[in-house]
Amino acid sequence: MNRIVSLSRNFLLFSMVIGLLSWQTNAFAGRNECWVDFYESPNYSGAHIRIDGPVKLRNLRAVDDQNWESRFDSLVVGPKARLQIFENTNFKRTLSEMAKYPDLMKSLGITDEEVKQESDVEFSPGEMVHHLGELNFHKKTKSLKIECVK
């Protein structure tokens, strides 16, 4: 009788551990879908790095012990990630900063319409971009934000 009780307790404990591990694996799998793969060359080739979200990187000088600033040329957004990339460090926009100096903008021939059109570039979950040059963002990324979505 004691042996049966002991086996039952062991089985119950074993079942609880397996259930907990299964739950953790499923929870981890959900978080694991929030990432972006960046490639150094067009068409998802060349040096590659995966950055897990959520994250805000003010610069890309020391990502995975390498300087990835201005190196990205293609990317794949994970199924539960949203990405914003910026041409400048600290999430700054070039023309938006210049808009603070209207005389300078005028002397450079920059219109208010160009300032309104300029923004960071955003990508949706699951999006694939084979060449950032098509978005006028060829090897320009210097900061980024990855947000996890449901």
Pick from 40, 34, 26, 39: which is nearest to 124 by CA? 34
- Model pLDDT for residues 99-140, shown as the tens digit of each residue: 777 887 778 777 777 665 555 689 999 999 999 999 888 898
Most confident listed range (25-34, 83-92, 95-104, 108-117): 83-92
CA distances to 49, 95, 120, 140 from 110, in Å: 36, 8, 18, 20
Using an 8 Å Cβ cutoff, are 39 and 45 in contact? yes
Q: Using CA atoms of 97, 49, 83, 67 in order, give the dihedral in degrees to the nearest 10.
A: -10
Higher pLDDT among residues 67 and 1, named by residue: 67
Using an 8 Å Cβ cutoff, are 139 and 73 in contact? yes
CA distances to 110, 139, 141 from 145, in Å: 27, 17, 11
